[in-house]
Copies of this chain bind each other. A is one copy, B any other.
């Protein structure tokens, strides 16, 4: 493979998560040549995690028989508030980091230019570049996984606000007095429609005697529950699971309605593991509910769609960032 790629532009995209680090090598058309994965070990502190990112990047590069010097640039999506100009992760609850000079430290280890951004910003950047061919001016991305995050493209550019934290849709209050969120508040979107919220609702109902096919599949503690299991249960006719997913989709639709009223983007894109697993079950309800909640005329011509990038959105987006930034230089 090195023969066909060593004269091309090659980039590495990294998705730095709370539990795992994912790296991918991409050509200039963002085709993935190889991937590698490693656990984050956040408890070992920023220095150790940065070493592990470097290891993960080298593994991916080695996997496709390349050398680091053939890589033009590395893009990284990190959780929390990220300052791309300073190259710092300002803070992140997820990793417990505070003003970590991620760019500088990684460049020391890898001798390749590194560009960093918030992980959800990276995802919407990748989607904008690879999936939205008509380049709408204003796009909002909502990513439903264990938690819920978002990213904004306004006037064709990433918009990250005053503290580099714009797009924190997961903690938009939708239901004052609603279920407790990990952030300490109640009724956040994330506490109503994330994977954790959905699992919690199911597990609590089962504790209270609710019957579901899921316990036949996984045992009564439902410990290894995954988004895909929900799909299987619905396909087998489990009306309880279907209703829980419908509810999550309704809350998501309300959140999308709020965003249409407030920001009035041309496109709203939904992504993340929950949407990837349950797109067919959720999207029609999300679209219908969003249009019900958007004010008359505000949703006219607005597309509400699901991303097809799935779990790769992070590394693909990071490679888009790497290419974008190295062409700027």
- A residues contacting B by CB (< 8 A) are 80-81, 90-91, 93, 136-138, 150, 152, 154-155, 159-169, 171-178, 183, 185, 187, 251, 254, 257-259, 261-266, 292-293, 295-302
Contact = CB atoms under 8 A, between A and B. Distances in A.
B176 A177 contact: no
Contact of A296 (B93, B154, B302): B93
Given A161-B265, A175-B176, A298 B93 contact: no
B178 A264 contact: no
Contacts of A152: 263
Given A163-B300, A174-B176, 17 more contacts: A90-B297, A91-B297, A136-B162, A154-B154, A161-B265, A162-B266, A162-B302, A164-B264, A165-B264, A167-B262, A168-B261, A169-B261, A173-B254, A183-B295, A258-B258, A259-B262, A262-B263
Contacts of A266: 162
Contacts of A293: 171, 173, 185
Most buried by B among A80, A162, A169, A183: A162
A160 B266 CA distance: 11
Given A160-B264, A162-B138, A185 B292 contact: yes
Contact of A165 (B91, B292, B295): B295
A150 B162 CA distance: 19
Contacts of A168: 261-262, 264, 295, 298
Contact of A176 (B154, B171, B178, B261): B178
B172 A262 contact: yes
A138 B298 CA distance: 22
Contacts of A296: 91, 93
Contacts of A138: 161-162
A185 B250 CA distance: 14
Contacts of A299: 163
B166 A263 contact: yes
Nearest to A162: B266
A81 to B, nearest CB: 5
Contact of A154 (B81, B159, B177, B178): B159
Contact of A171 (B172, B175, B295, B300): B295
Contacts of A163: 264, 297-302
A261 B159 CA distance: 13
Given A163-B297, A166-B262, A301-B162, A174 B174 contact: yes
The 3 closest A-B pairs by CB, nearest first: A161-B264, A168-B261, A166-B264
A195 B322 CA distance: 50
Contacts of A261: 165, 168-169, 171-172
Given A93-B296, A168-B298, A295-B183, A265 B176 contact: no
